[in-house]
Amino acid sequence: MMPFIVEWLWSDALVWLLVVAAIGFALYTRRHPHLRAPWARVARSASGMAAATVLAAFVLVGLMDSLHYRAALPQQGGKTAYATEVRSLLDRVLEPLRLTREKTYSAPLATHLYAKETVQLQDGTEARVFPRLRHGGAHLKDPQADWCLDVAMKAFRGLTFGLLLWFVVAIGICAAVARGRDAGIEMVWRDAWAGRTEVPWRAVFCALGLLCILIGPVAALAPYYHVLGTDKVGQDVLYQALKSIRTGLVIGTLATLVMLPFALVLGLMAGYFKGWVDDLIQYLYTTLSSIPGVLLIAAAVLMMQVYIENHAELFPTTEIRADVRLLALCVILGVTSWTGLCRLLRGEALKLREMEYIQAAHAFGVSHWRVMMRHITPNVMHIVMIALVMDFSGLVLAEAVLSYVGVGVDPSMISFGTMINSARLEMAREPMVWWSLAAAFVFMLTLVLAANLFADAVRDAFDPRLIVGGRS
């Protein structure tokens, strides 16, 4: 028997399809110098490479959360049954966080609950005390005396491991570079820190170092404490924050993926054919873009909700329902946001169709379809690439707002939006519960900031106006 069966949710399949496509695209790009050139410019940008390092860490977490399985239950009568719950690889790794539920709020690294409770003392009297947590710091005999030293020791050990890991990875990168250049590792290491390498490895090392310094202590403390505290129902906040990453990444990437074919096909057709095709497509996108974005999304999501409620039989489990809702949200976001890129591509196609090489293609009798595929599409790819990376951060931010309005992801799905939504009322509590919001804030800011910086680097590298003008 198998210890588990792999469960492909729809979004998982699409995410992995995207990964395969990205790898294929990367391999294709590698072999073509003219495609490689802009990416080489991206690789020369220090902020871009640092942002890419951070993004890679987020993507790693997101991908781990996109491998779902159902575990086998203990055998009963020779037949293997599988759990109904769908878990991801990330859930498995974070098992200590997921299973250690407390009763309610507890502060980061706390050993006691955040609210007083009436407990019966041994002599029969009752008292209002802060009870000990079931899991957080449960290994301490005397929390008051031991806590400080224990936390410091564990954090220090984690820090040491983090730095060690950082050093190993950094040396590994240097070794790889050294092999390509036929130079000594030590020399590459020194060049990298002096900023003499073509790719700004110093920025990558700094970003990597910062990540390791943060992750090390957190990973060392997480099995024993709730590093970022627990929320109202006692769930670990760090676990929620890590799970939110996948939701944000899926929305940011799949929505643009849905938008892309609409924008590309319609935009190029409008610019290339002109005449009534252009009029029709222009009318279409003016109409769609004249509806304020949030309202259009809200209306579409409301309709989707009604559909899901009335067809409950199509969605057997909560996970599947939440997943379908997530996908539907991506589709809606994509369908409502193609107009901007479409307009840009139309303008570019209008310009390109008058170029001499297109005229030459016409003269040779190349069909319209082939002209568009072979001669126009490759020449608008820089616009597409810039739009793809620029839209990502906006979509991650939009998810939070939409979830607040009530038209975002399924309430059972952990996302930055649902985290903020459930945490915002806690600010009014006395004493205040700040850690849920702080965690969502830090994770979201890091993800969006990294995405924005990377997008800027990509734009600077791909935009021909900026390259020719020599400005940045």
Partner 1 sequence: MTAYITRRLIYGLFVLVGVNVFTFALFFFVNSPDDMARAQLGAKRVTPEAVAKWKHERGYDKPLFLNEKSTGVAKLTDTVFFEKSAKLFVFEFGASDQGRNIGYDISTRMWPSLAVQLPAFIIGLLVYISFALLMAFFRATYLDFWGVVLCVLMMSISGLFYIIGGQFVFGKLWNLVPISGYDTGFDAIKFLALPVLIGVISGIGSSARWYRTIFLEEISKDYVRTARAKGLSETRVLFRHVLQNAMIPILTGVVVVIPLLFMGALITESFFGIPGLGSYTIDAISQQDFAIVRVMVFLGSVLYIIGLILTDISYTLVDPRVRFS
Burial class (CB in 10 A: 0-12, 13-18, 19+), 220: buried
Please give the full DSSP string across 105-118, using - where no structure is assigned.
Answer: -B-TT-SB-SS-EE
Q: Residue 380 or residue 397: which is nearer to partner 1 going by CB?
A: 397
Report the residue from 83, 119, 449, 464 that binds partner 1 according to the rule CB under 8 A.
449
Give the H or E element holding residue 228.
none
Report the residue from 116, 179, 351, 424 that binds partner 1 according to the rule CB under 8 A.
424
Part of the chain binding partner 1 (CB under 8 A), chosen from 139-147, 205-213, 297-305, 372-380: 297-305
Contacts 24+ apart (CB under 8 A), 134-138: 134/100, 134/101, 134/102, 134/103, 135/100, 135/101, 135/102, 135/226, 136/100, 136/102, 136/106, 136/109, 136/110, 136/111, 136/224, 136/225, 136/226, 136/230, 137/109, 137/110, 137/111, 137/224, 137/225, 138/224
Asked whether position 292 contacts partner 1 by CB under 8 A, the answer is yes
Asked whether position 361 contacts partner 1 by CB under 8 A, the answer is no
Asked whether position 466 contacts partner 1 by CB under 8 A, the answer is no
Q: Which amino acid belongs to residue 423?
A: A
Residue with tokens 């643009």: 256
Asked whether position 288 contacts partner 1 by CB under 8 A, the answer is yes
Asked whether position 420 contacts partner 1 by CB under 8 A, the answer is yes
Q: Residue 114 or residue 416: which is nearer to partner 1 going by CB?
A: 416
Query: Do residues 45 and 461 make contact, with C-beta atoms less than 8 angstroms apart?
Result: yes
Q: How far is the CB of 307 from partner 1 (least distance, A)?
A: 6
Q: What is the rounded distance in angstroms from the CA atom of residue 329 to the CA atom of residue 312?
A: 18
Asked whether position 445 contacts partner 1 by CB under 8 A, the answer is yes
Asked whether position 393 contacts partner 1 by CB under 8 A, the answer is yes
Q: How far is the CB of 328 from partner 1 (least distance, A)?
A: 11
What's the chain's Rg over C-alpha atoms? 26
The DSSP bridge pattern shows strands 117-120 and 4-7 to be: unpaired
Burial class (CB in 10 A: 0-12, 13-18, 19+), 425: exposed
Q: What is the rounded distance in angstroms from the CA atom of residue 238 to the CA atom of residue 435?
A: 10
Asked whether position 456 contacts partner 1 by CB under 8 A, the answer is yes
CA nearest to 402, candidates 322, 347, 330, 310: 330
**Site string (306-345) toward partner 1, x via CB under 8 A:** xx-xx-----------------------------------
Asked whether position 193 contacts partner 1 by CB under 8 A, the answer is no
Q: How far is the CB of 204 from partner 1 (least distance, A)?
A: 19
Report the residue from 178, 453, 457, 458 that binds partner 1 according to the rule CB under 8 A.
453
Part of the chain binding partner 1 (CB under 8 A), chosen from 93-101, 112-120, 163-171, 301-309: 301-309
Contacts of 10 (CB under 8 A, 6+ apart): 323, 324, 327
Query: Do residues 382 and 29 make contact, with C-beta atoms less than 8 angstroms apart?
Result: no
Q: How far is the CB of 393 from partner 1 (least distance, A)?
A: 7
Report the residue from 17, 302, 314, 355 that binds partner 1 according to the rule CB under 8 A.
302
Q: What is the rounded distance in angstroms from the CA atom of residue 293 to the CA atom of residue 296?
A: 5
Q: How far is the CB of 391 from partner 1 (least distance, A)?
A: 13
CA nearest to 106, candidates 64, 63, 152, 137: 137
Q: Which two tokens stand for residue 169?
A: 């990875």
Report the residue from 43, 260, 296, 331 that binds partner 1 according to the rule CB under 8 A.
296
Task: Report how many residues bind partner 1 under the rule CB under 8 A.
Answer: 46
Asked whether position 397 contacts partner 1 by CB under 8 A, the answer is yes
Q: Residue 159 or residue 335: which is nearer to partner 1 going by CB?
A: 335
Q: How far is the CB of 229 from partner 1 (least distance, A)?
A: 17
Part of the chain binding partner 1 (CB under 8 A), chosen from 124-132, 211-219, 347-355, 397-405: 397-405
Residues near partner 1 (CB under 8 A): 283-284, 286-288, 290-292, 294-296, 298-300, 302-307, 309-310, 393, 397, 400-401, 404-407, 416, 420, 424, 427-428, 437, 441, 444-445, 448-449, 452-453, 456, 469, 471
